[in-house]
Amino acid sequence: MEILEKYALKIPDILLPKKEIPLLQWAVIACDQYTQDKAYWQKVSAAVHKNPSTLHMILPEVYLDEFSETEKQTYINNIHRTMKTYLADGVFAPPVHAAVYTERTSAYGRMRKGLVCCIDLEQYDWKTCSMAKIRATEETIEERIPARIAIRSGASLETPHIMLLVNDPKHMFVEAVGSIAKTGKIPAQAENTGCVKTPEHALPPLYDTDLMLGVGHITGWSLCSTEAQKAAACALERIAAANTAADGSVFLFAVGDGNHSLATAKAVWNEYKKCFGGIEQADGSIGINESIKDSPLRYALVEIVNLYDEGLVFEPIHRVLFNTDADALADFVRRKLGGTLIPCSDKNELVRRVASSASVFGFVSQKSGFVCLEAKLERLAVSALQSVLDDFIKQAQCTQSIGAAQSGESSVPHKRRVEIDYIHGTDEVFRLAKQADTVSILMPHIAKERINRIMSNPTYACFIRAKQEHDTGYAQAFCGSGRQQGVIPTVGQNSRHEMQRIKSVFQTAQRFRAHTTRPYMNVFKTIRELK
């Protein structure tokens, strides 16, 4: 057993492009960003052109609604073909067996530190109230899974955008071991922890490059020595002790971003285990045949970030509803949540009112202008609103279905289905609201102090989302109430578009073989069973 396996981690094999391949064109943002901005992806495509790039190995979600099923499958087939071509044509340098310490600096100077490592999917669970070491932070929504499964099932390489958050106020883990790799010195904040005792010689960076379209810079150092791994294990031992509940369960990592990508990895691994005779257990887990216990499918590549990293600033994820009457939506939310609708003179007043309270929502539309709802909530605003929006969408769909049935038509021509999207950043919220029949909802901020308090208490469930904006570097966090109350409100459909951040320039060398011939529906059944 490797020293870190006790803590659900495994040292990966990292593939980097050869030195002659420009990293500026290689690294692109995650596929689930700019989902309403096709022009951005056109700029990326023009910048990359035909050069080797992760762009050719991802499916930007801006195209999901535009492509037919045949077109999606063709695109995915091209992704798989590109991965195999890159491996065969010598695009990559020899693999590096190491965790990677990264530093990302945004265009505005904010820096975030991370540690790239593999996690054991056997130690991760997406179910609500899970006691696993690695826990999901939002409900799994089946509609987000198909394209991800189709890509991962036939992939030769993994191009992750999954972030885990660790509750480490003493900076013992990421920052401490990163400092050893970067400088060969013990960071001051870790000197009194007793974890880091054996500095190693500093190594030059594995990579060091500006990022595409002027969005910042990234540098990565390998953590390949036994000394560094021991330091990491020692730090995790202390973190685990501080986050152990009365029942003995340990909460090590919360999924800060990429919940659905990690759920996809788990679903694929579960399906693979079934193909080798794995039996479903009473708790819903799938047994492992000894012949596949070390399969690369068991692991997923992630980046671990300290919740207390100064590069993380907490901010909500806003909602945008399309094909929606602004007045009807605002009145529906008011009736469900209570409170008062107040017209605002301009954008600035709306932003100011929303920022003034944890229970004020801002509605922006072409039809009604700027309106805020001052609600009186006893629970987290995002939990209260999301359930109301789900009801509104269901009601709208039901109304349309009844209308179609009465008219004898398969659809109601003059009505389009209400759709919802999840947006990072206020600028995009106001831009989208200029469209006809579109309503943007500005969400209130969440105090970081609350996140810290809940993450520090293992008796609480914590629903956290983090992102690194392309311009500043923000994070979202949503916290549920205590398990002892028996109520675990999930974020639900909190963000189809998880994190606005730059993808790492590293790739894993794990070769995911074609592992199953079962139809995708079997995987979806597994997802439903495990939710």
Q: Mean pLDDT, to the nearest integer, of 35-47?
A: 91
Helix (H) or strand (E) holding 179: helix 174-183
Range of the domain at 354: 318-445
Which segment of 270-279, 370-379, 419-428, 456-465 scores lowest on mean pLDDT?
456-465
283 and 417 share one domain: no
Q: What are the two backbone dihedrals, phi and then psi, of residue 428, each rounded to the nearest 5 degrees? A: -65, -35
Q: State the pLDDT confidence band at 412, using cuts at 50, 70 and 90.
A: very low
What is the SS3 assignment for 351-420? HHHHHCCCCEEEEEECCCEEEEEECCCCCCHHHHHHHHHHHHHHHHHHHHHHHHHHHCCCCCCCCCCCEE
Residue 191 counted as domain residue: no
509 and 389 share one domain: no
> Whole-prediction pTM value?
0.73
Q: What pLDDT score does 214 carry?
A: 87
- Please tell me the distance from the alpha carbon of residue 462 to that of residue 327, in angstroms, as a whole number: 34
Q: State the pLDDT confidence band at 447, using cuts at 50, 70 and 90.
A: low
Domain end among 425, 445, 465? 445
Q: Mean pLDDT, to the nearest integer, of 340-352?
A: 96
Residue 303 counted as domain residue: yes
Which segment of 34-38, 157-161, 501-505 scores lowest on mean pLDDT?
501-505
Q: What pLDDT score does 480 carry?
A: 28
Residue 271 counted as domain residue: yes
- Please tell me the distance from the alpha carbon of residue 398 to that of residue 432, in angstroms, as a whole number: 26
Q: What pLDDT score does 458 carry?
A: 44
C-alpha 18: how far from chain center: 28
Query: What percent of the chain has pLDDT above 90?
Result: 46
Which segment of 55-69, 257-271, 433-447, 474-488 scores lowest on mean pLDDT?
474-488
Examine the pLDDT at 142 and tell me if it is beyond 70.
no
Q: State the pLDDT confidence band at 266, using cuts at 50, 70 and 90.
A: very high
Residue 288 pairs in a beta bridge with none
296 and 326 share one domain: no
Cβ neighbour number for residue 3 with a 10 Å cutoff: 15
Q: What pLDDT score does 325 carry?
A: 95
166 and 282 share one domain: yes
Residue 471 counted as domain residue: no
Residue 143 counted as domain residue: yes
Q: What is the pLDDT of residues 60-117, one digit of tens each?
A: 988 988 889 899 999 999 999 999 999 999 999 999 999 999 999 988 788 999 999 9
32 and 63 share one domain: yes
Cα–Cα distance list, 262 to 118, 222, 369, 432 (Å): 12, 24, 39, 29
Q: Please choose, from the candidates 409, 449, 416, 411, the residue with its C-alpha nearest in 3D space to the C-alpha of residue 435.
A: 416
- Please tell me the distance from the alpha carbon of residue 467 to that of residue 530, in angstroms, as a whole number: 26
- Please tell me the distance from the alpha carbon of residue 407 to that of residue 233, in angstroms, as a whole number: 66
Q: What pLDDT score does 477 carry?
A: 31
304 and 330 share one domain: no
Domain end among 445, 479, 513? 445
Query: What percent of the chain has pLDDT above 70?
Result: 74
Q: What is the pLDDT of residues 310-328, one digit of tens each?
A: 887 767 889 999 999 999 9
Which segment of 39-43, 49-53, 202-206, 429-433 scores lowest on mean pLDDT?
202-206
Cα–Cα distance list, 355 to 137, 232, 372, 476, 518 (Å): 24, 39, 11, 15, 49
Sheet holding 369-374: strands in order across?
Answer: 340-344, 369-374, 360-365, 438-442, 318-322, 419-423
| Number of domains into which the chain is organized | 2
111 and 10 share one domain: yes
121 and 268 share one domain: yes
Q: Please choose, from the candidates 165, 142, 248, 132, the residue with its C-alpha nearest in 3D space to the C-alpha of residue 463.
A: 165
Sheet holding 507-508: strands in order across?
Answer: 96-97, 13-15, 507-508
- Please tell me the distance from the alpha carbon of residue 9 to that of residue 118, in angstroms, as a whole number: 6
Q: 496: which 2 tokens?
A: 């189809």
16 and 120 share one domain: yes
* Contact between residue 423 and residue 440 where contact means Cβ atoms under 8 Å apart: yes
Q: 141: which 2 tokens?
A: 């929504």
Between residues 181 and 138, the one the model is more confident about: 181
Interstrand relation of 299-306 and 163-166 (parallel, antiparallel or unpaired): parallel
385 and 519 share one domain: no
248 and 113 share one domain: yes
Examine the pLDDT at 263 and tell me if it is beyond 50.
yes
Which segment of 207-216, 296-305, 373-382, 485-494 scores lowest on mean pLDDT?
485-494
Between residues 528 and 134, the one the model is more confident about: 134
Which segment of 67-71, 74-78, 234-238, 464-468 scores lowest on mean pLDDT?
464-468
Residue 480 counted as domain residue: no
Q: Mean pLDDT, to the nearest integer, of 416-445?
A: 90
Question: One-letter amino acid identity for 341?
Answer: L
Domain end among 445, 464, 486? 445
Cβ contacts of residue 68 below 8 Å, gap of 6+? none
Angle between helices 146-153 and 69-88 (to 10 degrees): 30
Residue 197 counted as domain residue: no
- Please tell me the distance from the alpha carbon of residue 415 to that of residue 375, in angstroms, as a whole number: 30
Examine the pLDDT at 230 and tell me if it is beyond 90.
no
**DSSP assignment of 33-90:** S-TT-HHHHHHHHHHHTTS--GGGG---GGGTTTS-HHHHHHHHHHHHHHHHHHHHTT
Cβ contacts of residue 449 below 8 Å, gap of 6+? none
300 and 377 share one domain: no
Between residues 521 and 172, the one the model is more confident about: 172
* Mean pLDDT computed over every residue of the chain: 78
Between residues 78 and 142, the one the model is more confident about: 78
Residue whose token pair is 């495990």: 530
C-alpha angle with apex 176: 170 to 182, nearest 5 degrees? 150
Residue 159 counted as domain residue: yes
* Contact between residue 111 and residue 186 where contact means Cβ atoms under 8 Å apart: no
Between residues 349 and 527, the one the model is more confident about: 349
